[in-house]
Every structure is written in C-alpha cells, then in structure tokens.
Amino acid sequence: MAGASGKKEKVKVDKAGPSGGGNKKKDVKKETGLGLSVKKDENFGEWYSEVCKHEMIEYYDISGCYILRPWSMAIWEIMQTFFDAEIKKMKVKNCYFPLFVSPGVLEKEKDHIEGFAPEVAWVTKSGKSDLEVPIAIRPTSETVMYPYYSKWIRGHRDLPLKLNQWCNVVRWEFSNPTPFIRSREFLWQEGHTAFATKEEADEEVLQILELYRQIYEEYLAVPVVKGMKSENEKFAGGLYTTSVEAFIPNTGRGVQGATSHCLGQNFSNMFEITYENEEGKREKVWQNSWAYSTRTIGVMIMTHGDDKGLILPPKVASVQVVVIPVPYKDANTQGIFDACTATVSALSEAGIRAEEDLRDNYSPGWKYSNWEMKGVPLRIEIGPRDLENDQVRTVRRDNGVKEDIPRGSLVEHVKELLEKIQQNMYEVARQKREACVQEIRTWDEFISALNQKKLILAPWCDEEEVERDVKARTKGETGAAKTLCSPFEQPELPEGTLCFASGKPAKKWTYWGRSY
C-alpha cells in the first residue's frame, strides 16, 4: 500500500485541489462557500489535518510519519537560518553525530532512559540475517555524544564546549499521532554544552530560552510563556528544565514549545566528563541541553489558521506576496500580465518574497481561494482598472482588508503591510490566549476552569506528590491535567495564599492544563 494514507488514522485524501474532489465533498464545500470541508470551531482535529494537507504535509504509509513538503520545509529553513546565526554568535559550533546508538551506551544512563525505553526503535536485521547486537535509533543524543565529550574535554582550556546538531530523531510514540505536533520521526536541533561553572550554564539556559521565545513570538507570531518545569515534568536526567509554553484555545490544551535544560553534573558523573582546573584538580563539568523541533510549525498552524485554511506570518512565509492577474474579456491581457511580472520584480528586488500566478487553466477566483488556503499573507490583484489607474489592489490574508495602492509607492507600502500583518497576527493570538487565562484559588474553581478549556493559573505548594494527585483526580478520556510551567514573571502571591489542591501554603503561581 505504498503511497496510501495510514489506515488507522482514517485519512481522507482530497486529490482534486481547492474546488473539491468527490461530489460529496464538493457539495459540502459549496454549502460552506469555503475551501475546507470542516470548520475550525466545529471539528478541530479534522480541520487541522485538512489544513496540513494543503501542501504542508503528505500522509505516509507508516503511521505517525509524515512527508514535509516544500511549503512547510521552507518555514523550517527560515527559522533554522535565524537560530543557527544566533547560536553561532554565542560560539556554538555545528557537528553531526551518527543516527545509531549501541545498546551498551544507551543503557549506561538507565535512570533517564527507563521511562523512555518503550519509545526506542531498534534495528535488528541486515537483509535477512539477524544483527549480532541490535542497534538503537537515536531518540535524543546524550548517550551518543557524551562519551566523546569525556574524551575531548581534558583541561580547563577545552571549556566551554558548545555543540549543536540539526538532525532527525525517532521516538516510537503510541498515543495518537498528529502532524508536526506528535510524530514518530521529527526534525530538531539539539544543543549540548559543557562549562566549568554552574553560573555559565545557568546563563546559557536563559539565553537559549530567549531565542526560543523569539522564534515563537517574533517569527511564528505565537505568544508563549517562559517558565520553569515542575519536578514531575522536568527532564529526569537533568537538574532543572525551562520551557516556552504555548496554548491552543480551540482544544484548551497547553503545548510545550521548546525546552532548555540545565543538566547539572548528572551526566558528567555518568560519563566521567571531567577536566583539570588551574590548580591541577579534576573537576566535573556543568552541562546544558536544549532543543526545538518541527512541532513549532504545528503550533503556528493551530494558532493562526481559519476556515479558509492556513495563515502564515510574513516572517516565515516562503511566499509573502502572491500577485494575481485579473483579466476581463476585452481587456489588455498582456498588459496586465506584464504589470504582474513587473510588480514581482520590484518586490523581489526589495527583498520581499513575491510570486506571480499566471496559470491560464484557473480562474482568478480559484487562485484567490487556493492561495488563501496556503496562507500567503498578502495578495495583489491587477485588473484592467488597476492598469488604467497605475495602481494595484492589496488583500490581507489575516483580516481580509483591501486597499488600492499607487504603483509608485508599491514597495514601501507592501513592506509596511507585511509588518502590520505580522504584528496583528501576534496581537490577535495574544488576545485569544489572554481571554482563556483564568486565575483560580480553589479545587472547585480549578475543575470548572478545566472543563471550560481554560489556561489555569493557580497558587501551588510545588510538591511532587500533589501534582501526581491532581493528575490522578483529573484523569479522563481527554487526558489528565498537569503543570505546564511556573512563569518567570510571577504575579504577586500574598502571604497566606493556599495551594488550590493541597490547602498547604502556596509557594508560587503555576500554569496548569491538559496538554499535547
């Protein structure tokens, strides 16, 4: 069944493009007057999968694996260009370690691997013969890299060691796969650094977290909260975990956007990563690790998409402006086409990513809805009237606002519009999230807020046992509630405030919710 869609996921493939395929679907689409067969508010899961299929993703015949098509890969590359340059400024160097892990090393740090073991995929054969020793496929690269850190780090002059790799990892998840959000293979960067002092490590954790915030807020226009993970939710192999957390109002779920860990000296203990200090004494290094993945793209799609399809923030859109000719019967068609080409040239020269759609087998209306579905932030239409008046018509994808602008001020105008769109998308997303935040104080308020799909901010005693208890008490079909993070920006916590779950004195405000 090569090329078919994964059976269990009930994938519907619509091969016929925006105006619909099979008759049934076409009817539905006609009825809604939109390009998608489901609405975001009516069936979010179906909506998401349909939007992804409009050129971001192709489903694959192995469940939980997806093809990233050029339309999504370009977004990944834009974020990669930003992040790669930023970490290089911090003197991080790129490298590449092998995909395979020998079982000996993988099991070396049993504590951290224990909970994850069921997700590790193994190669057991070559051709028809069994391998003498099966080899694992990296789910993350601590065990692959750290034996070499031990070898490479000898003296204090070898520190800090700051490496990053852009790669794929495999985690054989069993809970429902979702494109970008939860897939069995995904792309990420993983940074692994080693320092002489904890202070240096602490500082880097936050520098990286700030870059992750920038990716979400400034590139993807998705608001996030920076904070500290609870003991239950931190990376078990490390000392503490910081994260950026996003929230999806439609499902009322939090989503961990990226993590920046301080590993402390746990791994230097296990892998004997030590150096000789200036006094000739052996010391253990302090380590960090940090990652963001293609999950970022899924969070962006969920945050901004609407009933017409995707909406891409200009900063990550591979096509920021699409120029569409609108010829009429007796109009100067060639003149219109030439104006389109000239418009694209002018924009491209100014560094704006613009494309024209001169296909003659589709109507302008079809093209509008096709590019809307693909989320291009700005459309430019050029028809006979525009030609006559030496103007173009702009149509914003984020709010539908139309404007006629003189061709003389095209470039400045479009630049300004793209910035406004970026800003507005962030602002709208932030307001939607703010409307979901609920501060609670008691268990009853907590349960009621949870049922209303709120992002809950609660005073908490910060005890592991209490978080486990909350999880147990909220267990249900849609998953249990857990902590997302304790925000670095803490509201005031008056003396005597009690934990909503245990009634003990509260130590901090923490975000709670169901999550992806």
Site for ligand 87F in 284-343 (CB under 6 A): 289-291
SS3 labels along 116-144: CHHHCCEEEEECCEEEEEEEEECCCCHHH
> Taking Cα atoms as reference points, which of 137, 132, 149, 134 lies closest to residue 192?
149
Strand-pairing partners, residue 247, are 254
Take residue 287 and report the two structure tokens written for it. Answer: 């380590």
Residues 140 and 188: their CA atoms lie apart, in Å, by 10
Q: In terms of CB distance, is 118 or 476 closer to ligand 87F?
A: 118
We find the least distance from the C-beta atom of residue 433 to ligand 87F, in angstroms, to be: 24
Q: In terms of CB distance, is 140 or 486 closer to ligand 87F?
A: 140
Q: In terms of CB distance, is 193 or 369 closer to ligand 87F?
A: 193
We find the least distance from the C-beta atom of residue 135 to ligand 87F, in angstroms, to be: 14
| Number of chain positions touching ligand 87F (CB under 6 A) | 16
Site for ligand 87F in 399-438 (CB under 6 A): none
Take residue 431 and report the two structure tokens written for it. Answer: 């307001």
Taking the alpha carbons of 457, 463, 469, 475 in that order, is the dihedral positive or negative? positive
We find the least distance from the C-beta atom of residue 116 to ligand 87F, in angstroms, to be: 3
Site for ligand 87F in 476-505 (CB under 6 A): none
We find the least distance from the C-beta atom of residue 27 to ligand 87F, in angstroms, to be: 44
We find the least distance from the C-beta atom of residue 205 to ligand 87F, in angstroms, to be: 11
Residues 226 and 489: their CA atoms lie apart, in Å, by 8
> Taking Cα atoms as reference points, which of 34, 41, 40, 45 lies closest to residue 12?
45
Q: In terms of CB distance, is 261 or 396 closer to ligand 87F?
A: 261
CB atoms within 10 A of CB 68: 20
* H or E segment to which residue 73 belongs: helix 70-89
We find the least distance from the C-beta atom of residue 457 to ligand 87F, in angstroms, to be: 25
We find the least distance from the C-beta atom of residue 266 to ligand 87F, in angstroms, to be: 12
Q: In terms of CB distance, is 113 or 221 closer to ligand 87F?
A: 113
Q: In terms of CB distance, is 142 or 381 closer to ligand 87F?
A: 142
Site for ligand 87F in 143-172 (CB under 6 A): 171
Q: In terms of CB distance, is 295 or 308 closer to ligand 87F?
A: 295
Percent helix, percent strand, percent coil in the chain, to nearest 5: 35, 25, 35
* H or E segment to which residue 345 belongs: helix 333-349
**Binding track over 263-292 against ligand 87F, x by CB under 6 A:** --------------------------xxx-
Q: In terms of CB distance, is 236 or 358 closer to ligand 87F?
A: 236
Question: Do 229 and 240 touch, CB atoms closer than 8 A?
Answer: yes
460 binds ligand 87F (CB under 6 A): no
Q: In terms of CB distance, is 74 or 120 closer to ligand 87F?
A: 120
Q: In terms of CB distance, is 192 or 514 closer to ligand 87F?
A: 192
Residues 56 and 68: their CA atoms lie apart, in Å, by 6
We find the least distance from the C-beta atom of residue 287 to ligand 87F, in angstroms, to be: 10
We find the least distance from the C-beta atom of residue 189 to ligand 87F, in angstroms, to be: 9
Provide φ and ψ at 464, rounded to 5°. -55, -45
Residues 208 and 259: their CA atoms lie apart, in Å, by 9
Take residue 141 and report the two structure tokens written for it. Answer: 């690269």
Site for ligand 87F in 228-257 (CB under 6 A): 235
**Binding track over 107-146 against ligand 87F, x by CB under 6 A:** -----xx--x--xx------------------xx-x----
Angle at 411 between CA 407 and CA 417, to 5 degrees: 105
SS3 labels along 219-261: HCCCCCEEEECCCCCCCCCCCEEEEEEEEECCCCEEEEEEEEE
190 binds ligand 87F (CB under 6 A): yes
CB atoms within 10 A of CB 2: 5
We find the least distance from the C-beta atom of residue 331 to ligand 87F, in angstroms, to be: 57
Q: In terms of CB distance, is 120 or 480 closer to ligand 87F?
A: 120
We find the least distance from the C-beta atom of residue 485 to ligand 87F, in angstroms, to be: 14
What residue ranges bind ligand 87F (CB under 6 A)? 112-113, 116, 119-120, 139-140, 142, 171, 190, 235, 259, 261, 289-291
